[in-house]
Amino acid sequence: MIVAATWESGGLGQAGREVLGAAVRLGATLGDDVAFAALGTAAADAAAEAGGYGAARAFALEGDYAASGAEGAIAALAELARELGGRAVLLAADEQGGEIGPRLAERLSGTAVTHATDVEVADGRLLWTRPVFGGKAFAAVEALVEPVVATLRRGAFSSAETMGGAAAVETRQVPVTDGAVEFIGSEAPQTGVALEDAAVIVAGGGGLGSREAFAELEELAGLLGGAVGASLVAVDSGWAAPERQVGLTGKVVSPDLYFAIGISGASQHLAGIGGAKAVVAVNTDPDAPIFTAARLGVVMDWKRFLPVLIDELRRAAP
Amino acid sequence: MHAVVLLKQILDWELPPRKFRIDQETKRPPDGLAPTLLGPFEQNALELAIQLKEGGVVDRVTALLAGPQGAADALRKALAVRCDDAAHIVVEAPELHDPSQTAELLLAAIRRLDAPELVLAGRQAGDWDHGQVGHLVAERLRWPVLGLVWQVERNDGRLLAWRSGVSGSEQFAVRLPAVMTVTSHSSLRLRMGNVMDLMAANRKPITTWTPQELGLGPEELAAAGRLELADVWVPEVERHCELIEAEDPAEAVAALLDRLGELKLLERLA
């Protein structure tokens, strides 16, 4: 059995379709069935939908997971994977997947593979591809001990295709944990379009030089109906919030259009934008690595370029 | 409270991609390709440890590192920013791809330290980028763990920590003893040690262990192995960027919008 598990609220989300897609293809190659587990306070709809995407069994693991950090989810998934005899558990490689993967693998006496971008089966062995050295290289790794708990990079695996129908959903409640980690609160969550779902992203880097400069990016993003992203340098400098970071240690995004403004293009940043349909880079340095990832490039100081672009778009706006 | 910060010395992560290479024999970057440095997230973890000491949350910090002989530089750096003690598990780098083996080595050393109650680790080492060691150490100690932390304070016998969550910052209370993995943050840039502290650091003793001395011979380490490195390669990067040739911003903007329209990349403006 291959188990796919994602956080859901309402219908099956994009991360869920990708993780399920990877599970269905892996299951077909290995001759294993797929079980899908939706986690969250309202997980039943997504679980039911998963049946139409190739999951043989569907589970809604309902509960308030935030309350215990990752502990509730780890306990729930460990129980399910043991019961189903899962050979692999697939999760999304986001902040939650990173918390769950290694510990879930440990509790199942298995192996965690993080941030996988591909999996191949050769002679029944699973070879996982993952970025290393900040995205400058890739490694193929094999788990010496099963089950494997793999976190999958967003945008690296194609979505499951719908075959219609729905699965009978088995609903379970999240196990009670010992309270060693207790949720206290969060800062007001981000407003507007989430980076992972944005069709247009306007991202700024070290070249912007200040928090104020990000306000100009907000304006451009607003005109394009997009979201603002940032490089690690910009986030570490305190110019943008950590949840705005795009890259290997931030969000992996796949917009139609990605504006990289004053971003030099460190590998760790490029690792987050491989899924963009087109990158437009604006940078003063023609040798900046960002131009290797860009479809269109403008070698110019953003301070000269951006105000004119914003004016032009404002004029064109209805 | 005694805190341990886990450090790792890695290849300079700012080495440009065009200079990065992998030796197919060793499946690793060739020796001497670039200097090795204390990893960026380990720097953040070290800075947080020092801030916790200054803030009275912990009263003692031990820097612990697994790595080759030369990696002791990172421990000198840690002593120079006023870590109280340093300990080095001397192991050649090729052993340290597998996070399970690395965790096993660190765990054996942590168990020999004087009753630590907090272990801080970087969120991921910038070489193999697994992001597993802190979590595996926690799980094997049966301690709670919180990842991607950037601020910690003491609150009624527990630690109150801010972390980066999916959609923003989240605050958790964590019971001790605990492990935390540390992410980068503007407040966690590693300070420089002053000259006097650097000189003092060079005179301080560093505890060293071989894996055997920690009870982890080749057989024990092999038994802890979970991940085999089958292949490593550098992807080919083709440059097919079309540069907009214009000196004047207005011309550049017009040319860019034209091309975006032709490529159907800005549908609503086309």
* The pair of three-digit structure tokens given for residue A79, joined into one six-digit string: 């129980």
CATH of domain A2-173: 3.40.50.620
Residue B259: which region, alpha, beta or left (left: phi > 0; alpha: psi -120 to 50)? alpha
Say what the pLDDT of residue A193 is: 77
d(CA B163, CA B168): 8
pLDDT tens, residue by residue, B35-54: 999 999 999 999 999 999 99
**ipTM of this complex prediction, to 2 decimal places:** 0.93
In 3D, which of A44, A42, A46 has the Cα closest to residue A15?
A46
Which of B236, B33, B18, B229 minimizes the C-alpha distance to B129? B229
> Is B132 touching A (CB cutoff 8 A)?
yes
Indicate where chain B has its CATH 3.40.50.620 domain(s): 2-223
Q: Which CATH class is domain B2-223?
A: alpha beta
3-state secondary structure of B30: coil
Instruction: Say yes or no to pLDDT of B236 above 60.
Output: yes
Burial zone of A318 (CB within 10 Å; 0-12 exposed, 13-18 middle, 19+ buried)? exposed
B213 in contact with A at a CB cutoff of 8 Å? no
Q: In this predicted model, what pLDDT tens digit does every residue of B65-93 receive, in sequence order?
A: 999 999 999 999 999 999 999 999 999 86
Phi–psi pair at B6, nearest 5 degrees: -90, 125
Quick check: helix, strand or coil at residue A318? Answer: coil
Task: Give dist(CA B158, CA B178) in Å, integer.
Answer: 10
State the Cα–Cα distance between residues B263 and A277, nearest whole angstrom. 11
Domain assignments of chain A as residue spans, ordered by start: 2-173, 195-316
Chain segment A7-42, per-residue pLDDT in tens: 998 889 999 999 999 999 999 999 999 999 999 988
Provide the sign of the torsion angle of the four alpha carbons A22, A23, A24, A27, taken in this order: positive
- pLDDT of amino acid B93: 66
Whether this prediction's pTM lies above 0.80 is answered by yes
A283's tokens: 């940078």
Count of residues for chain B?
270
Comparing CB atoms, the residue among A187, A278, A293 nearest residue B265 is A278
Which of B164, B197, B160, B189 lies closest to B176 in space, CA to CA? B160
The share of chain B scoring above pLDDT 70, in percent, equals 97
The pLDDT of residue A64 is 83
Residue of A86, A88, A76, A98 lying closest to A151 (CA atoms)? A98
**Number of residues written out for chain A:** 318
Residues near A256 by Cβ (< 8 Å), separated by ≥ 6? Answer: A199, A200, A276, A277, A278, B265
Q: Which helix (H) or strand (E) holds B243?
A: strand B242-243
Q: What does the pLDDT read at residue A297?
A: 96
Question: In this structure, which CATH number among 3.40.50.1220, 3.40.190.10, 1.20.140.10, 3.40.50.720 belongs to the domain A195-316?
Answer: 3.40.50.1220
Distances (CA, A) of A113 to A118, A146, A309, B100: 11, 11, 43, 11
Shortest CA distance from A298: residue in chain B: B244
Kindly determine whether residue B129 and residue A136, on different chains, have CB atoms separated by under 8 Å: no
Mean pLDDT taken over chain A: 93
Q: Go through B160-180 and write b for each residue having 16 or more CB atoms within 10 A of its CB, e for each that does not.
A: bbbbbbbbebbbbbbeebbbb
B193 inside 8 A of chain A by CB: no
d(CA B150, CA B165): 11
Identify the DSSP state of A177: -
Considering CB atoms only, which of B27, B168, B171 is closest to A243?
B168
> Which chain B residue has the Cα nearest residue A193?
B167
In CATH terms, are A2-173 and A195-316 the same topology? yes
User: Which candidate in A68, A94, A99 is best for mutational testing of the B interface (most B CBs within 10 A)?
Assistant: A99
Q: Which of A111, A75, A210, A92 has its CA nearest to residue B226?
A: A111
* Nearest CA among A237, A238, A272 for reference residue A255: A272
Q: Rounded to whole angstroms, how far apart are CA atoms B48 and B190?
A: 9
Output A163 or B151, whichever has higher pLDDT: B151
What number of other Cβ atoms are within 10 A of residue B72's Cβ? Answer: 17
